[in-house]
Chain A
């Protein structure tokens, strides 16, 4: 009789963030990513368990919701509650948008850069129109496959914001965070963010929402990510 393959094998650590450890592994013999929210020993065990499971659920929920909107996100294979981990698709053949941009700049491939910016803008608009903020939009959290499919990853800080006033603020900050990230990592990519913004604007179908979000965004830009707390 054939023995069943182990659930996880070949586990190897990719990186450790503030919140979770990321592993590459074989899940029942298939390539997968394991995102484990490790135990925070400084936190009371009951509290740690509640908070972690809440966030795990939230991340899975928003990943799925984004997928339903037609946005490419890694497929979820399994949720390991005991290990407090999400096991998901390993997009190993994809590259981070960060490295793609660097390469395109070197090749001076303006057409392709514009194309990419357009793609990013459209996807963010789609997410935002569904009242979802990603919470950590950087070019490292976007992956590009060889067939030019753009994937969004890491929904750990994402939220579904229903309150209208809070939503505008959240959307605007989401855009602003991306702008800052692009300025910091890709200062040579001129017009890249403005191209994203152009595509974003033309993809928001509700004119009122577009105007309100853009006004809010200008406001956030003027004062920085944080409220000014003056007055």
Chain B
């Protein structure tokens, strides 16, 4: 039986809707809520943005997929969590309404699992160690006994959050994304400024880096306004970006290597918004080369939050659900905190 799934994603500042038919992406449009330099995205404003964009985006997704009506969709999938409460609820409300109007089953998807399943679909990786790096999450995940198990993660802020807030400190543009602009500046940097490096087993910590950068920048500002000689380290924005990336990514590659050795895998899959950073992919490649392992990376279309990934994970869940009923309305609630290992992975048969 051919299954056509539509996926709705809106857990952070992107709203995306994707249509997937048996592993084939038919459409995957997305809108990003971009804030002025120096500002982050607030939940309520982000929710408003999603509210105003979602209906047009549904039309666009259907048009691009050459599907006439939502009646031709078999299952509605949406992000159940984790993410920001407001935006999650906006999307869930729309999905519940539509699914009831067209009398279709609903499947609520764990956002992280959406990333993993999309990565597996696009790269064909069978059983990789997954590095999931985004604005809200930093986890090192491997599959075992029907769960995506978290082997390591951040003990404070996510790597993308660290990048975003760093960009705000430097007043870098948020268009198209702070991480992208840091990456471009970093290419021109070459002096390495030492930053805190915190790896604890398979866990990492980033908040110390951010505070450290703050003292470097603010220290300089104070020195300048008070007319003092710059006492502290000399730095340029380019060098700071370069050093930040080198430090953050080295930590990520290290825990990935540890996980690889631990589970005895030889495939690494990088997913999440930070995953489209070419420098991260490059460093991961160097590590993997030494271990006779391979890196599977994906480009921004599928790395960054999108609707198709939710459709893909929802499709897998729906296919494994022999009743074909999807979730009850009560089960379609949202959760800001929803662990990757909370979902029972009944669609994979391997151990």
The interface residues of chain A lying within 8 Å CB-to-CB of B261 are 17-18
Closest residue of B by beta carbon distance from A159: B200
Check: A111 CB closer than 8 A to any chain B CB. Answer: no
Contact of B197 (CB < 8 Å), options: A50, A157, A226: A50
Minimal beta-carbon separation of B231 from chain A (angstroms): 22
Residues of chain A having any CB pair with chain B under 8 Å? 17-19, 40-44, 46-48, 50-51, 135-136, 157, 159, 224, 226, 228-231
Give chain B interface residues in 214-250, CB to chain A under 8 Å. 246-247, 250
Interface-forming stretch among B45-53, B65-73, B172-180, B252-260? Answer: B252-260
Check: B349 CB closer than 8 A to any chain A CB. Answer: no
Q: Quick one: given A46-B192, A157-B201, are A40 and B254 in contact (CB under 8 Å)?
A: yes
Contact of B286 (CB < 8 Å), options: A17, A18, A41, A46: A41
Give chain B interface residues in 250-287, CB to chain A under 8 Å. 250, 253-254, 257-258, 260-262, 283-284, 286-287
Q: Are A230 and B260 in contact (CB under 8 A)?
A: no
Q: Are B153 and A226 in contact (CB under 8 A)?
A: yes
Check: B290 CB closer than 8 A to any chain A CB. Answer: yes
Minimal beta-carbon separation of B201 from chain A (angstroms): 5
Q: Are B192 and A43 in contact (CB under 8 A)?
A: no
Q: Are A18 and B192 in contact (CB under 8 A)?
A: no
Check: B171 CB closer than 8 A to any chain A CB. Answer: no
Q: Are A230 and B337 in contact (CB under 8 A)?
A: yes
| In the complex, number of A-B residue pairs with CB atoms less than 8 Å apart | 54
Interface string of B161-201 (1 = CB under 8 A from A): 00000000000000000000000000000001010010011
| A19 to B337 CA separation, bound complex (whole angstroms) | 33
Contact of B201 (CB < 8 Å), options: A50, A135, A224: A135
| A167 to B59 CA separation, bound complex (whole angstroms) | 55
A-B contact pairs, 11 of them (CB 8 A): A42-B283, A42-B287, A43-B246, A43-B283, A44-B192, A47-B197, A50-B194, A51-B197, A224-B341, A230-B337, A231-B337
The interface residues of chain A lying within 8 Å CB-to-CB of B339 are 228-230
| A17 to B246 CA separation, bound complex (whole angstroms) | 23
| A228 to B338 CA separation, bound complex (whole angstroms) | 9
Check: B90 CB closer than 8 A to any chain A CB. Answer: no
The interface residues of chain B lying within 8 Å CB-to-CB of A48 are 250
Check: B98 CB closer than 8 A to any chain A CB. Answer: no
Q: Are B257 and A46 in contact (CB under 8 A)?
A: no
The interface residues of chain B lying within 8 Å CB-to-CB of A51 are 197
Q: Are B284 and A42 in contact (CB under 8 A)?
A: yes
| A47 to B251 CA separation, bound complex (whole angstroms) | 11
Minimal beta-carbon separation of A100 from chain B (angstroms): 23
Q: Are A18 and B153 in contact (CB under 8 A)?
A: no
Q: Are B260 and A18 in contact (CB under 8 A)?
A: yes
Closest residue of A by beta carbon distance from B256: A18
The interface residues of chain B lying within 8 Å CB-to-CB of A157 are 201
Contact of B250 (CB < 8 Å), options: A19, A47, A159, A231: A47
Q: Are A43 and B250 in contact (CB under 8 A)?
A: yes
| A28 to B261 CA separation, bound complex (whole angstroms) | 32
Closest residue of A by beta carbon distance from B290: A41
Check: B150 CB closer than 8 A to any chain A CB. Answer: yes
Q: Quick one: given A47-B192, A226-B150, A229-B339, are A42 and B250 in contact (CB under 8 Å)?
A: yes
Given contacts A18-B261, A42-B283, A229-B339, 6 further A-B contacts (CB under 8 A): A43-B246, A43-B283, A47-B192, A50-B194, A51-B197, A224-B341
Q: Are A42 and B286 in contact (CB under 8 A)?
A: yes
